[in-house]
């Protein structure tokens, strides 16, 4: 796809799924802004992607505003925004009644509130584009009510709802908003909270019986960002190898 060096910002792209998406979009011709809370990780991936690093803590409204103001001073126009940053791999599985208030608020604060805060702050940059697109990375865990991750599932369910509202409220601005719901994705981030046997059983439950990698998400996200999906808005695209059928 010829994007004519359009600019996309990908949150949480210093590692994991975000890093894979950032690199995949760069390969497809996008100018990628690698946004992450960790400055060194952001700079490393930005160098790999031939883009630029943006340091932001999306859980902080002040940090979101400062990042947006920095981009505004630089005259950056955003053609795309991928809200990927989330807490998951470090979470310990437990029933919802064992999750304490601090952990619950931390997960919701990043996964849901953080997406709302940053998108709100970046609206001037998105409105400056001819036709911008927002892609929110939710999770197919919502569709199965995955046990022992109540705060994560709740945050991602909220993100799907937020996507619908964004698509309605931004319609007059020519900005589209969609979501993708990946299943479990294997990245370089170690997962100590799930066993190899659990991974094997999940893969066996999929129609596509192999572990997913970030590359499996890039195509769907690139489609939703690009002109081929110009008539698609307010939708949720399930990308979990057929673990769930929507």
HSE of 226, CA atoms in CB hemisphere, 13 A? 16
Annotation marks residue 152 as catalytic: yes
Distance between CA atoms of residues 99 and 78, nearest Å? 37
φ, ψ of residue 153 to 5 degrees: the values are -60, -40
Place of tokens 């690139």: 222
CA distance 234 to 146: 24
Contact call for residues 13 and 45 (beta carbons, < 8 A): yes
221 and 82 in contact (C-beta within 8 Å)? Answer: yes
Alpha carbons 176 and 137: distance in angstroms, whole number? 14
Specify whether the CB–CB gap between 9 and 58 falls below 8 A: no
Annotated catalytic residue, options 88, 116, 143, 152: 152
Q: In degrees, to the nearest 5, what angle opens at C-alpha 21 toward C-alphas 163 and 9?
A: 60
3-class DSSP state of 243: coil
Do 19 and 13 contact (CB within 8 A), yes or no? yes
Residues recognised as catalytic? 152
């Amino acid at each position: 796809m010829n994007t004519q060096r359009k600019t996309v910002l990908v949150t949480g792209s210093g590692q994991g799924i975000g890093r894979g998406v950032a690199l995949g979009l760069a390969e497809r011709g996008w100018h990628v802004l690698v946004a992450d809370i960790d400055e060194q990780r952001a700079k490393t991936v930005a160098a790999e992607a031939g883009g630029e690093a943006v340091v932001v803590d999306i859980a902080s409204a002040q940090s979101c505003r400062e990042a947006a103001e920095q981009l505004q001073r630089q005259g950056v126009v955003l053609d795309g925004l991928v809200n990927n940053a989330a807490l998951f791999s470090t979470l310990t599985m437990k029933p919802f009644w064992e999750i304490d208030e601090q952990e619950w608020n931390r997960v919701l604060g990043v996964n849901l509130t953080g997406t709302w805060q940053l998108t709100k702050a970046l609206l001037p940059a998105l409105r400056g584009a001819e036709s911008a697109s927002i892609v929110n990375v939710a999770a197919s865990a919502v569709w199965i009510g995955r046990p022992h991750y109540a705060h994560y599932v709740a945050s991602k369910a909220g993100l799907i709802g937020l996507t619908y509202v964004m698509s309605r409220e931004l319609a007059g601005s020519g900005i589209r908003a969609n979501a993708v719901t990946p299943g479990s994705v294997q990245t370089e981030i170690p997962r100590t909270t799930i066993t190899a046997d659990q991974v094997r059983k999940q893969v066996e439950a999929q129609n596509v019986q192999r572990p997913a990698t970030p590359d499996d998400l890039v195509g769907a996200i690139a489609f939703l960002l690009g002109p081929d999906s110009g008539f698609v808005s307010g939708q949720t695209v399930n990308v979990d190898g057929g673990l769930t059928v929507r």
